[in-house]
Amino acid sequence: MKILAVDDERDILSLIKKSLAGQYQVDTVLRPFEAIPEDLSSYSLIILDVMMPKEDGYEILGRIRNKVTCPIVFLTAKALEEDVIYGLSIGADDYIRKPFTVAELRARVAAHIRRDNREKAAQVIQSGPISLNQEECLLAVNNRVVELTKSEFDIVTLLFKNSGQVFSKSQIYEDIYGFDKEGDESAIVEHIKNIRRKLKEQGTQPIETVWGIGYKWKKEL
Q: Tens digit of pLDDT for each residue in 118-152?
A: 544 447 888 889 999 887 888 999 989 999 988 89
Predicted confidence at residue 113, as pLDDT, reads: 83
Predicted confidence at residue 132, as pLDDT, reads: 92
11-15, 81-85, 101-105, 147-151: which is most confident: 11-15
Q: Which residue has the higher pLDDT, 27 or 178?
A: 27
Q: Is the dihedral of CA 20, 22, 24, 26 positive or negative?
A: positive
Q: Do strands 130-133 and 138-141 pair parallel, antiparallel, or not at all (unpaired)?
A: antiparallel
Contacts 24+ apart (CB under 8 A), 16-22: 16/47, 16/105, 19/102, 19/105, 19/106, 20/105, 20/106, 20/109
Matching CATH number, 2-116, of 2.30.140.10, 3.40.190.10, 3.40.50.2300, 3.40.605.10: 3.40.50.2300
User: Above 90 in pLDDT, residue 192?
Assistant: yes
Predicted confidence at residue 181, as pLDDT, reads: 55
Q: What's the predicted TM-score (pTM) here?
A: 0.70
All CATH 1.10.10.10 domain ranges of the chain, comma separated, are 124-217
Q: Which CATH architecture has domain 124-217?
A: Orthogonal Bundle (1.10)
11-25, 73-87, 153-167: segment of lowest average pLDDT: 73-87
All CATH 3.40.50.2300 domain ranges of the chain, comma separated, are 2-116
